[in-house]
């Protein structure tokens, strides 16, 4: 019976709920006409009430110092918004919905449509009645100071950010600029800058009538942003917040489109879809402004920012001022040694405001030189242990790491922390490190892997985790410290790295056991005489140390090692025979060492893909057929390797045979000593597929054979001829240049260096190098011009970025006509006393970052086309150091 009774009660409840639901729907349809009439009447009463309140407000505001109450103003805005919505409901749909009714208004030809419309009318009637009940005010205005356009947001005072603030504000005042993106690394002061911009709307005369500030943050939801904006424009009722996203967007758009507004959005991690929010796009007609901050330059692009402004770290003088302000003069003057130590501590912060403020506040109570010395030691070697760094600074910066698109990109980022502070890392070096470590092992060929590497580098640059240095990158000191802090936490996930770039002794062998990557670059280690066991080691950096000796069995227990960099150890004279144990080795760099011979055991490294022996001037012996032992070789760098053509290629035929076997070679650099050897390179397919760096070096100034004939035959197939160095050649013949049969033979040439060519008078053949970006000419005593030809029919040096001319006593012209030089970054002139004119005029001044360096006397004696040209380039000059 209990079961039966339970079922009976449940059925009754179900029937009751169904009846209520059906009756409710019927009621919306049956009362549609009645509710429409009531809504029209009630709305008219609300409008009359609003007009009365507005008149009372306007009358009150005519009196000095009286301003409307915010409660009253918000009520008026809400009425206006609701009025617009209801007019749409009544005017747009009422007639056609009434026509659908039948049976005396009790039924409908389209019941679903009538029900939905009736429900909407009933809800609007409730909203109107609610606003009517709230529209009775005891007072509508109160005595106050003039109403501010914005409520001032408290913030840290800015130190050193005045120039970038002025730059941003100029764009805010420029009616042609609507969207402004501020990007930069975490902790650099973007929020502080945006706060100052927000507060400045109260301090300056402007014709904006609405300024909205919102914080977006990571993982934002459109509805949340809509609610934040709605609160600023009078759409904050509980009923409004329950609306659908597209309905909110329509309401926001309707109101903002009638205002001259500024929208300030802080902390964007991904693009915000303004149309879905309801924010009108700014243009030169509506004069709307949107300013946002982000850590990613890529977000600026997706947001269609017309101005992208990087917020960088502070220059030293401004950073020092900020640091002193946080430490306080009292502490700095407690002991004569403290100011100098304080400068070292401040310098460790790398101009990052967040670090300067955090460290400065900690050091404000440190009163002895010993405490300051300890701070220097901790910041240099274990920055995460410094108070505030591991719990405030690094977690904030870590958000950028977490936001990287994949684990592969994160791994590449951590790889960059292996290099010492302020180390300039060549992008191409990173490419081959990552390729040889198999971080990019899913790519089937070199070109694809290269493209992916540059994409990853670009991602790290746009995320402000690396700094661009042209063909190189740098990692900010604090970002590097954060990366090392991360690597310690991530060791259990396979990212374990061991970095000690200031060591004087090798880390104890026990520390190597779980290491995946080890860097002892720039250390003072002289001898590696203990044999570590490193079963997981992939990369070992020993570059730039003081190494003299490595014991033969040092590499015996590194079976997985893929990358070994011993370069720049100028005291290292031999490679240990134990290199034969490195069966997985793919990348070996011995450049700029004092190695005299290569052991035959090196031929056991059959999987080698990268071999760098550049500038090993003392190398006198390599095993015969060495290159044949490395059939997978992709990069061979033997520029200034003893004498490359003598050490590796005992004859020109041998050279060709050796290169023929390298089917995968992608990059080749070498030095040759004769024109005949240079011309014979043309017979090898490598010149069609390989990026070539070639140094042509004469050995004896008195030898008449030390000349070079740049004939079209020798150059015709060099499509990837990237770099050409010509050193100590008596002359470079180019009489064929005016009747050049193949004008595209220098198409790939980007870097040219000409040194000590005694009889050379010009480099007129460079007119056919349209992609040249770097030119250095040094010590050519008879050179009078660089380009001796009239260049009116071509535009030479169109992509040139660096021009360096040194010790050219008879050089009087670079070229005949002025050049546009749109990409030029540096012109460096020294020892060119008769060079009285640069190939620049006022129309050449298209580049804003040009630096011209030279002696004061030379600069003051320059001739210019007119005073305007001189004035245009005067700010670019820097005297030689």
Q: What is the pLDDT of residues 107-139, one digit of tens each?
A: 655 557 667 777 888 888 888 888 888 888 878
In this predicted structure, the answer to whether residue 315 has a pLDDT above a threshold of 60 is yes
Cα separation, 134 vs 239, in Å, equals 15
In this predicted structure, the answer to whether residue 441 has a pLDDT above a threshold of 60 is yes
Mean pLDDT of 246-252: 90
In this predicted structure, the answer to whether residue 9 has a pLDDT above a threshold of 50 is no
Identify the bridge partners of residue 390 per DSSP, sorted by sequence position: none
**Least confident among 303-312, 524-533, 837-846:** 837-846
Cα separation, 235 vs 232, in Å, equals 8
Choose among 231, 271, 266, 268: nearest CA to 251: 231
In this predicted structure, the answer to whether residue 322 has a pLDDT above a threshold of 70 is yes
At residue 277, the pLDDT reads 93
Mean pLDDT of 48-53: 88
At residue 733, the pLDDT reads 57
At residue 491, the pLDDT reads 53
Name, in order, each residue with C-beta under 8 angstroms of 679's C-beta and a sequence gap of 6 or more. 709, 711, 713, 714
At residue 653, the pLDDT reads 59
The terminus-to-terminus CA distance of the chain in angstroms comes to 105
CB 510 within 8 A of CB 532: no
Cα separation, 418 vs 266, in Å, equals 33
pLDDT-derived band at 503, boundaries 50, 70, 90: confident
Q: Would you call 723 helix, strand, or coil by DSSP?
A: strand
Which helix (H) or strand (E) segment holds residue 182: the answer is strand 179-183
Q: How far is CA 469 from the centre of its chain?
A: 11
**Would you report the helix, strand and coil content of the chain in percent, each value rounded to 5?**
40, 15, 45
In this predicted structure, the answer to whether residue 629 has a pLDDT above a threshold of 70 is yes
Q: Across all residues in the chain, what is the average pLDDT?
A: 83
**Least confident among 359-373, 547-561, 618-632:** 618-632
The residue written with tokens 């002892």 in the block is 520
pTM of this structure: 0.76
Cα separation, 319 vs 801, in Å, equals 30
pLDDT-derived band at 701, boundaries 50, 70, 90: very low
pLDDT-derived band at 1, boundaries 50, 70, 90: very low
At residue 295, the pLDDT reads 93
Mean pLDDT of 273-284: 90
pLDDT-derived band at 91, boundaries 50, 70, 90: low
CB 356 within 8 A of CB 388: no
Cα separation, 501 vs 543, in Å, equals 10
Name, in order, each residue with C-beta under 8 angstroms of 781's C-beta and a sequence gap of 6 or more. 758, 808, 809, 810
**Least confident among 614-628, 650-664, 773-787:** 650-664
Choose among 841, 830, 847, 849: nearest CA to 870: 841
> Which tens digit of pLDDT belongs to each residue from 759-783?
888 888 888 888 899 999 999 999 9
> Which tens digit of pLDDT belongs to each residue from 155-170?
777 778 888 999 999 9
Strands 467-468 and 497-499: unpaired
At residue 326, the pLDDT reads 93
Q: Would you call 645 helix, strand, or coil by DSSP?
A: helix
Cα separation, 214 vs 440, in Å, equals 40
In this predicted structure, the answer to whether residue 20 has a pLDDT above a threshold of 50 is no
Cα separation, 598 vs 731, in Å, equals 35
């Amino acid at each position: 019976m209990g079961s039966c009774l339970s079922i009976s009660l449940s059925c009754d409840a179900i029937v009751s709920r169904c009846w209520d639901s059906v009756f409710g729907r019927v009621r919306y349809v049956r009362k549609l006409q009645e509710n429409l009439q009531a809504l029209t009447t009630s709305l008219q009463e609300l409008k009359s009430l609003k007009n009365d309140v507005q008149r009372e407000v306007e009358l009150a505001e005519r009196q000095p110092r009286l301003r409307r109450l915010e409660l009253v103003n918000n009520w008026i805005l809400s009425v206006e918004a609701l009025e617009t919505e209801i007019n749409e409901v009544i005017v747009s749909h009422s007639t056609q919905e009434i026509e659908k009714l039948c049976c005396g208004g009790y039924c409908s030809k389209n019941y679903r449509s009538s029900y939905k419309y009736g429900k909407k009318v009933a809800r609007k009637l409730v909203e109107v009645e609610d606003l009517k009940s709230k529209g009775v005010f005891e007072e509508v205005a109160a005595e106050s100071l003039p109403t501010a356009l914005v409520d001032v947001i408290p913030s840290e005072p800015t130190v050193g950010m005045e120039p970038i603030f002025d730059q941003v504000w100029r764009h805010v005042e420029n009616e042609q600029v609507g969207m402004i993106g501020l990007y930069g690394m975490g902790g650099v002061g973007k929020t502080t800058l945006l706060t100052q911009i927000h507060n400045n709307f109260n301090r300056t005369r402007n014709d904006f009538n609405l300024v909205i500030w919102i914080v977006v943050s990571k993982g934002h939801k459109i509805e949340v942003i809509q609610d934040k904006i709605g609160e600023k424009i009078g759409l904050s009722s509980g009923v409004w917040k329950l609306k659908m996203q597209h309905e909110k967007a329509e309401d926001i758009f309707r109101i903002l489109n009638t205002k001259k507004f500024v929208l300030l959005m802080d902390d964007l991690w991904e693009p915000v879809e303004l149309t879905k929010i309801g924010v009108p796009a700014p243009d030169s007609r509506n004069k709307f402004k949107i300013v946002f901050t982000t850590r990613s330059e890529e977000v600026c692009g997706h947001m269609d920012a017309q101005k992208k402004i990087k917020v960088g770290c502070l220059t030293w003088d401004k950073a020092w001022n900020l640091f002193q302000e946080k430490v306080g003069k009292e502490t700095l003057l407690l002991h004569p040694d403290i100011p100098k130590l304080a400068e070292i501590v401040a310098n460790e912060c790398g101009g990052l405001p967040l670090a300067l403020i955090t460290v400065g506040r900690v050091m404000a109570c440190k009163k002895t030189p010993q405490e300051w010395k300890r701070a220097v030691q901790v910041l240099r070697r274990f920055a995460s242990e410094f108070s505030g760094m591991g719990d405030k600074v690094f977690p904030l910066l870590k958000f950028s790491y977490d936001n990287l698109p994949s684990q592969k990109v994160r791994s590449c980022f951590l790889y960059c922390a292996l290099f010492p502070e302020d180390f300039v890392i060549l992008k191409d070096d990173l490419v081959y490190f990552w390729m040889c470590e198999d971080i990019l092992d899913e790519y089937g060929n070199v070109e694809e892997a290269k493209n992916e590497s540059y994409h990853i580098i670009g991602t790290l640059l746009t995320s402000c985790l690396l700094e661009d240095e042209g063909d190189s990158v740098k990692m900010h000191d604090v970002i590097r410290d954060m990366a090392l802090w991360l690597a310690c936490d991530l060791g259990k996930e396979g990212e374990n790295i061991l970095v000690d770039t200031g060591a004087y002794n090798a880390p104890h062998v026990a520390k190597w056991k779980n290491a995946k990557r080890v860097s002892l670059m720039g250390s003072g280690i002289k001898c590696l005489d203990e044999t570590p066991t490193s079963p997981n080691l992939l990369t070992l950096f020993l570059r730039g140390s003081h190494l003299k000796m490595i014991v033969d069995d040092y590499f015996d227990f590194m079976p997985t090692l893929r990358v070994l960099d011993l370069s720049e150890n100028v005291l290292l004279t031999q490679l240990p025979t134990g290199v034969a144990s490195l069966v997985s080795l793919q990348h070996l760099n011995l450049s700029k060492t004092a190695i005299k011979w290569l052991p035959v055991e090196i031929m056991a490294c059959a999987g080698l893909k990268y071999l760098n022996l550049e500038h090993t001037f003392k190398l006198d012996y390599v095993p015969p057929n060495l290159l044949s032992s490395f059939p997978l070789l992709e990069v061979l760098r033997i520029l200034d390797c003893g004498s490359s053509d003598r050490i590796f290629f005992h004859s020109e035929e041998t050279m060709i045979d050796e290169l023929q076997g390298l089917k995968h070679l992608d990059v080749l650099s070498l030095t040759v000593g004769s024109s005949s050897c240079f011309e014979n390179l043309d017979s090898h397919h490598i010149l069609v597929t390989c990026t070539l760096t070639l140094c042509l070096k004469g050995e004896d100034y008195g030898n008449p054979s030390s000349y070079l004939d740049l004939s079209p035959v020798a150059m015709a197939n060099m499509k990837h001829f990237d770099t050409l160095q010509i050193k100590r050649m008596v002359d470079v013949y180019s009489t064929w240049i005016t009747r050049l049969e193949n004008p595209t033979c220098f198409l790939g040439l980007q870097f040219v260096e000409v040194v000590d060519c005694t009889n050379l008078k010009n480099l007129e053949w460079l007119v056919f190098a349209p992609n040249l970006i770097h030119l250095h000419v040094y010590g050519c005593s008879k050179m009078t011009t660089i380009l001796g030809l009239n260049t009116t029919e071509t535009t030479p040096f169109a992509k040139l970025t660096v021009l360096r001319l040194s010790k050219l006593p008879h050089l009087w012209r670079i070229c005949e006509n002025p050049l546009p030089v749109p990409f030029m970054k540096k012109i460096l002139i020294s020892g060119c006393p008769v060079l009285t004119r640069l190939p620049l005029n006022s129309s050449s001044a298209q580049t804003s970052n040009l630096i011209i360096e030279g002696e004061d006397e030379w600069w003051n004696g320059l001739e210019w086309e007119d005073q305007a040209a001189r004035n245009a380039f005067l700010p670019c000059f820097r005297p030689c150091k």
